[in-house]
Amino acid sequence: MKRYVLTTVCLILSFVGMIAQVTVKIQVQPQCEVGQRVRVSYIVNTSDVDDIQVGDFPGFDLLYGPSTSTQSSYSIVNGRSTSSSSMTFSYTLLAKQEGRFQVPAATIRSGGKTYKSAGANIEVLPSSGNTGGGSAQGGQSQGGSRPSVSQRRGGQQGVGKDDLFIAVTANKKKVYEQEAVVVTYKLYTLVNIRQLAGEMPELDNCHVQELDSKAQMSLKYERYNGRNYGTAVWRQYVLFPQKTGKISIPSVNFDAEVELTNASADPFDIFFGGGALTQMVKKTIVAPAVEIEVQALPTPRPEHFTGAVGHFTMSGTLTPEQLNANDAATLRLVVSGQGNMKLMKAPVVSFPKDFEVYDPKENNKTVMTTSGAKGNVLFDYVVVPRHGGRYSIPPVEFTYFDPDKEAYQTVRTDSFHIAVAKGKETHTTTVQHKEDLKVLSSDIHYIKTGEAKVKSQSVNFFMTEKYGIAYGVSLVAFLGILGIFYRKAKENANIAGMRRKRAGKAASKRLKVAAKLLKAHDAGAFYDETLRALIGYAGDKLSLPTEELSKERISEEMLSKGVDAALVERYIRVMNDCEFARFAPGNPEETMDKIFAEATDVINEME
């Protein structure tokens, strides 16, 4: 019976595999230089490919291709088996003229059907005279391999001011008070950067928010002063000036660590361990200062203006519209748009005099963008009508300043109407004796008021039978808790020992995952997994909690345990390389291979 079930399952899996949708993806770098080699890859999610047809490559010479490679995997998890396979067809091209060119789509035949990939664009920049025969792997945003400064200068060491610098720009040089202005620090490099550190200092009279540019950071080519630089947006800040006049953003020093080729090294010395092909050079980059002129908002300012600057709309709802006296209602105002939404104040609402009004509650649902905060801000006003009747709340006005129109704008809601029935209690309470309210969903209930009834009972509890029982129970509970803490302490000590003992195995598992990502050319995931292996190994070996796993703490603990200082320095350097290698120009595969080898060696030496 089991055999028949297994056969049926295999047939079903085979049928599912046959009807699975075949897809063809194209993988190619978006930029290169004239005279540079480029790889274009077409990836099919099946190995059952009968034929592939690709058109011409305008602007490129076809050096060779297609070269094919096949990948397959099979796994069993919780008794369920899964399998997958793919084929990659790669073409190596040589860029022969500058411009933007369309990479043709590929058409493949599989299982008697025809499938087609999408096309892609490549921007070919003028040659910088340094590409040589280097090749670049498809799918990497860094572009092709880039020689170091020392190679271009015939062995002269050093990094010139035109080889590595940071440009600072503000999207507006003249703004109004509270208007958003974006300051961008952009990196330009012709060398391999291993580390870069620097932050914009705090500014007086300015509210500053940093944009999350790190998650989208990638190097790409940009033609500047006749040279092809690798560029990346390093930092972006949104400023909201709080005072008129000139605001000066001072110059910022960035500390960089650059890898240069050691052209004067003797190959025989290198072979026998007496030298190195590369050397690390420290370089300080000075980002220039920027000045922004802040204008005052026009006067006179409207009555309902509360400091909002940007572009906004407003809507409002009142719930419920019918209720009893002394019950609560909520007026919700929703201000939507973009601007200084984290700084603006709640709109002013004119409620009837018989309403008891509580301070509005603010719920900010915005995200920071290059135009300022964008999204919605909710203002909830809780009110309690004290008498029955029909009431009207006049339209709520919200006035803001529009910097594009250079004028104040006002948006308003419709008027609100509410019917209040006579409640059980219609007396009015003053603000000084306002009763506490307990909000449950949309209803408000009074906490019971009045004099408390206290019953006095004079009994001597000491030395009674109940006292003895209570004392004995408390003593037993105390001893039990003490025993639990003692056992937990021993378990924690054992856990720390097991962490140290298994540190090498845990790191080895992570490095195996990193090796698979290396083969898959997934640079971002590879660097993350390698860094996890290094940090995790240090945390396990040193018994450090996660929140204390900084490089400085790891270095201090290793040195205190007697680890060789040179080995500790190598360990920290590999961690730094993992953090910054994804943004560095150069051949990404060579960098990944080098970092993987260094990480494996340094962990093995630690063991």
Task: Read off the pLDDT of residues 251-287 as tens digits, 9 standing for 90 and up.
Answer: 888 888 888 776 555 555 544 455 556 778 888 889 9
Res. 138: pLDDT tops 50 = no
User: Could you tell me which residues come within 8 angstroms of residue 25 by beta carbon, excluding any fewer than 6 positions away?
Assistant: 42, 43, 117, 118
Cα separations in angstroms, 544 against 114, 129, 252, 503: 57, 50, 34, 12
Q: Give the pLDDT band (50/70/90) at residue 129.
A: low
pLDDT at 135: 38
* Chain-centre distance for alpha carbon 344: 27
**Rounded-to-integer distance, Cα 393 and Cα 321, Å:** 11
Tell me which residue has tokens 């709109």: 347
Question: Is the Cα dihedral 485, 491, 494, 499 positive or negative?
Answer: negative
Q: Which of 167, 311, 308, 334 is closest to 240 using CA atoms?
A: 308
Q: Which amino acid is at 200?
A: M
Containing 601, the helix (H) or strand (E) segment is helix 588-606
Res. 441: pLDDT tops 50 = no
Tokens of 86: 């793919």
Tokens of 266: 């003797």
**Rounded-to-integer distance, Cα 222 and Cα 232, Å:** 10
Q: Give the pLDDT band (50/70/90) at residue 145.
A: very low
3-class secondary-structure state, position 415? coil
pLDDT at 38: 86
pTM of the model as a whole = 0.52
**Rounded-to-integer distance, Cα 143 and Cα 33, Å:** 9
Cα separations in angstroms, 260 against 270, 420, 570, 590: 16, 80, 18, 15
The DSSP letter of residue 396 is P
**Rounded-to-integer distance, Cα 307 and Cα 309, Å:** 6
The DSSP letter of residue 370 is B
pLDDT digits (tens, 9 = 90+) for 376-394: 999 999 999 999 999 999 9
Sheet with 416-421, side-by-side order of all strands = 322-324, 416-421, 389-393
Sheet with 31-33, side-by-side order of all strands = 31-33, 120-125, 99-103
**pLDDT greater at residue 497 or residue 199:** 199
Q: Find the mean pLDDT for residues 190-205.
A: 83
Mean pLDDT of the chain: 78
**Rounded-to-integer distance, Cα 363 and Cα 334, Å:** 10
Q: Give the pLDDT band (50/70/90) at residue 141.
A: very low
**pLDDT greater at residue 29 or residue 341:** 341
Res. 594: pLDDT tops 80 = yes
pLDDT at 455: 55
Task: Spell out the domains of the chain, with CATH numbers in brackets.
Answer: 20-136 (2.60.40.10), 149-295 (2.60.40), 305-427+435-446 (2.60.40.740), 495-606 (1.20.120)
Q: Which of 163, 41, 100, 138 is closest to 587 using CA atoms?
A: 138
User: Could you tell me which residues come within 8 angstroms of residue 263 by beta carbon, excluding any fewer than 6 positions away?
Assistant: 150, 151, 154, 155
**Rounded-to-integer distance, Cα 508 and Cα 527, Å:** 15
Q: Which of 389, 397, 442 is closest to 415 using CA atoms?
A: 397
pLDDT at 277: 64
**Rounded-to-integer distance, Cα 365 and Cα 375, Å:** 6
Q: Which of 607, 492, 486 is closest to 543 using CA atoms?
A: 492
**Segment among 182-196, 337-351, 460-474 with least mean pLDDT:** 460-474
pLDDT at 418: 93
Residue 505 half-sphere exposure toward CB, CA atoms < 13 A: 5
